[in-house]
A and B are shown apart, each in its own frame.
Chain A
Amino acid sequence: MAEAGAVFLKDLQQELRNRYALNAMALFAITTLVVVGFAVGSQALPASVVAALLWVVLLFTAVASLSRVFLREEETGTALALRLAVEPEHVYLGKLLFNVVLLGAMALVVAPLFLAVMQARVGNPGLLALVLLLGCIGLAAASTIVAAIIARAAARGALFGGLAFPLLLPVLIAATGGTTRALEGAPLGAAWAELRLLLSFGVVMITASLLLFEHVWNE
């Protein structure tokens, strides 16, 4: 695990120096927040619509940056050195951790701003935080393995969307449902089905990715 930690810290150090993903995320998040804010105005929307809009913003902000973890290695030519020195599972876990932290940090900034713009009241903040955490892990897990699959392909942008969106559908449905319950102020037990789906998706996706990654990453 120390090796995966080293991969994570290296990615973090690179990102803090070139800020490629952070800038892309910030630009997308600000743009969508402004557009949604102007479109909705002072209307009071139902909790289910607010939740769906929040996850659309998070999804597209994630798509704008999460695929970079492997693309950057292939485009700059550093993937060869990484393949030579690091066990595949450590590469995957390090990159996954980086994407979870990046997406989590982004959600921490975007979600409160979005809810403020929408003038939405959060009935159960604890449940919202849990749904955001599990949703971000699910989004990051699926995006990381898809990013590895498409990293060496041509027309990567279109491929990433084509492969990632169907995979992400269960996470988005469950996360939207869980967020709706949190906004409505439902207790934790009322969102158990959504939480269970989010947790299962994360576990299955990470386990399957660990099993598959060596074949995706090597020749």
Chain B
Amino acid sequence: MRSPDGGPEVPAEVFLAVRDLAKSFGRLGLFRGVSFELSPGEALVVTGRNGSGKSTLVRILCGLLRPTRGSIEYRVGERLVPGRDVKRLVGLVSPDLVLYEELTLLENLRFFARVRGLRRSDMELQTLLTQVGLESEGARRAGTLSTGMRQRLRFAHALLHEPPVLLLDEPTANLDDAGVAMARACMARQRSRGILVVATNNREELELGDQILRLGG
């Protein structure tokens, strides 16, 4: 994780504790009694049938949705992170995440770096694009990308602020073999420096988790 002024990396000892979490939409109960704790270097894989609440759980962990019951605590060292600041800690890859189609890939990344208060040179952004296999597409508008390329762009967007917590919802969906290898490399890198949460039904990805959470019984 970088310092807020975009300076050199600082150690990010982030801990996540989820206790007795439940979510329902009206009478429709998605899940309840979800508890786990994660420390830097640990990965959680969330699995379960369609509609069991995997994506909803990921959104709750991002701070985008409130749980119906239970608590989520992010700690940086001993300091409890206020709910409003959780978004600074997390990076999200999700099929629901859409970037600006009228803007080029570099313009998208430049925009999201600016609104996060980060200083990123075009060379750094280009390096990020190279990391996700889009090195020759920087000047291309996001609206013209294929589905697989959009997924790669989501990875670049999620990794832009080098988050200590990476939340991946169906990370290898629509990716070709090279894309899957890129996604796996990102997951491995994240495990070496922070927390990784993966929501998936892919059997191979189940092996990535130190803990596995099955939703929907």
Contacts and interface: CB of A to CB of B under 8 A. Distances in A.
Contact of B103 (A3, A13, A83): A13
B165 to A, nearest CB: 12
Interface stretch (B46-54, B72-80, B112-120, B187-195): B112-120
Contacts of B102: 13-14, 17-18
A154 interface: no
A109 interface: no
B100 to A, nearest CB: 6
Contact of B117 (A3, A10, A81, A218): A3
Nearest to B92: A84
B97 A81 contact: yes
Contact of A10 (B100, B101, B116, B157): B100
User: Which of B62, B65, B101 has the largest count of A CB atoms less than 10 A from its CB?
Assistant: B101
Interface in B64-122: 64-66, 87, 90, 92, 94, 96-103, 107, 111-112, 114-117
A78 interface: yes
A84 B100 contact: no
B114 A6 contact: yes
A7 to B, nearest CB: 6
- Range of interface residues on chain A? 20 to 34
A137 to B, nearest CB: 24
Nearest to A90: B115
Contacts of A81: 97-99, 112, 157
Contact of B111 (A2, A10, A76, A83): A10
A130 to B, nearest CB: 33
A85 interface: yes
Interface of B: 62, 64-66, 87, 90, 92, 94, 96-103, 107, 111-112, 114-117, 157
14 contacts: A2-B117, A3-B114, A3-B115, A6-B111, A10-B103, A13-B102, A13-B103, A14-B100, A14-B102, A77-B97, A80-B96, A84-B87, A85-B116, A218-B64
Given A85-B87, A86-B116, 17 more contacts: A3-B114, A3-B116, A6-B115, A14-B102, A18-B102, A76-B98, A76-B101, A77-B98, A80-B64, A80-B94, A81-B112, A83-B87, A84-B62, A84-B92, A86-B115, A90-B115, A219-B65
